[in-house]
Amino acid sequence: MALLQDASLLQTLLVVVGALTLLRPLLSLLLTLHSLFLARGISLRRFSSQAPRALITGASDGIGAEFARQLAAKGFEVTLVGRSKAKLQGVAEEIARASPSAKIELLILDFSDASHAGWEHLSASISSGTPIGVLVNNVGVSHAMPVPFATSDAKENESIIAVNVAALVRVTHMVLPGMQARKSGLILNLGSFAGQFATPLLSTYSASKSFLLTFSKCLGAEQANARTGVRVTCLNTYFVVSAMSGIRRSNWLVPTPKSYVKTVLAKIGTSGGAGWRPYSATLWPGHALADWAITNLLPSENWLLNYQYTSSLDVRRRALRKAERQAKAQ
């Protein structure tokens, strides 16, 4: 009798555990769909009312240039930071044509060089210019192509760490105190799927974006618990059309920078496909569904790691063949 009771208790427990195991991904999918298609983002005016300036790093191209264009169109004074004066001027001219009343500041700074003179100009601009309500930590560099770490270029690795990690920490440390003093601010960190899901053959880049993810969580929790009024979000991003991705055509999974940034700015404060992960947001719908599927449906982390390895190896082989063709053509 006691044995029968034990067996039915075990059965009930298994059913409950099974139901909960199935329920969690289902709830997470509902949360994702609600976040993507029903939830409304908070207004950027919350940040611009006291501090009407947005500072964007790596603003001369791709996603950063688009943040600059769209934040200027929303009435922010914009500070564009990048290493190429000519490219920054090009973006500034476009902004001036589209928003003639926009105030634009250009700062030339090579983020891979910790002693570059531009750091002093940046510091002076932050402390004496219009208060910064929005910081977009966008600048980022990756490997020229997937490569085994052992044979990777030491200078390339150093540059990735300098730009994606050291410069990001330095800029954030410069901007945050002012935001805290005004009890208002938004910090958007350009994260990558490669930071959330380890990507072999892009080891240094992938690890630098993992740093960003952890940094965003710690910073976000510090701000929320101390009620500083500063909101921190790591924008978990899959592919976007850009020089870095090398992808030229958009589709539902790979947006243009314009569509991507428009979606992000409309959905601040929502999580998209990041579900319950704190201080993270996967806001482009295609990326969000991919995030949900990878998080909830894959058999194991090790399976994903091996899959990522094979995919990276495939990209490497194609990149090497392309380089070979180009060398022959010259």
Ligand X SMILES: NC(=O)c1ccc[n+]([C@@H]2O[C@H](COP(=O)([O-])OP(=O)(O)OC[C@H]3O[C@@H](n4cnc5c(N)ncnc54)[C@H](OP(=O)(O)O)[C@@H]3O)[C@@H](O)[C@H]2O)c1
Which residues contact ligand X by CB under 6 A?
Answer: 58, 60-64, 82-84, 87, 110-112, 138-141, 163, 190, 192, 237, 239-240, 242-245
What's the farthest any 2 CA atoms get from each other in the chain?
A: 85
Q: Measured between alpha carbons, how far is residue 1 from residues 6, 8, 12, 13 in Å?
A: 9, 11, 17, 18
- Given the complex with ligand X, which of 46 and 277 has the nearer CB atom? 277
Catalytic residue among 103, 209, 217, 307: 209
User: Hey, which residues does 234 pair with through a beta bridge?
Assistant: 189, 280
Which C-beta is closer to ligand X: that of 111 or that of 197?
111
Closer by beta carbon to ligand X, 61 or else 77: 61
Minimum distance from CB of 329 to ligand X (Å)?
Answer: 24
User: Is the separation of the CB atoms in 185 and 232 below 8 Å?
Assistant: no
- The residue from 74, 183, 205, 238 that is catalytic is 205
- Residue 252 CA to residue 66 CA, distance in Å, equals 19
User: Is residue 205 annotated as part of the catalytic site, yes or no?
Assistant: yes
Minimum distance from residue 193 beta carbon to ligand X (Å): 7
Q: Which is nearer to ligand X, 197 or 228 (CB)?
A: 197
Considering only CA atoms, which of 172, 114, 135, 139 is closest in space to residue 58? 139
Q: Which of 84/251 has CB closer to ligand X?
A: 84
54 forms bridges with which residues in the sheet? Answer: 78, 134
Least Å from the CB of residue 141 to ligand X: 5
Closer of 62 and 273 to ligand X (Cβ): 62
Q: Which two tokens stand for residue 209?
A: 């974006």
Q: Is the dihedral of CA 18, 22, 28, 34 positive or negative?
A: negative
Minimal distance in Å, beta carbon 242 to ligand X?
A: 3
CA quadruple 323, 241, 95, 233: dihedral positive or negative?
negative
User: How near is the Cβ of 235 to ligand X at its closest, in Å?
Assistant: 8
Q: Least distance to ligand X from the beta carbon of 91, Å? A: 9
Q: Which residue stretches of 132-274 are H helix?
A: 154-161, 168-182, 193-196, 203-225, 257-266
Which residue stretches of the chain are H helix?
A: 2-37, 45-48, 62-73, 85-98, 118-128, 154-161, 168-182, 193-196, 203-225, 257-266, 285-297, 301-329
Do residues 142 and 244 lie in contact, with contact meaning Cβ atoms separated by under 8 Å? yes
**Annotated active-site positions, please?**
205, 209
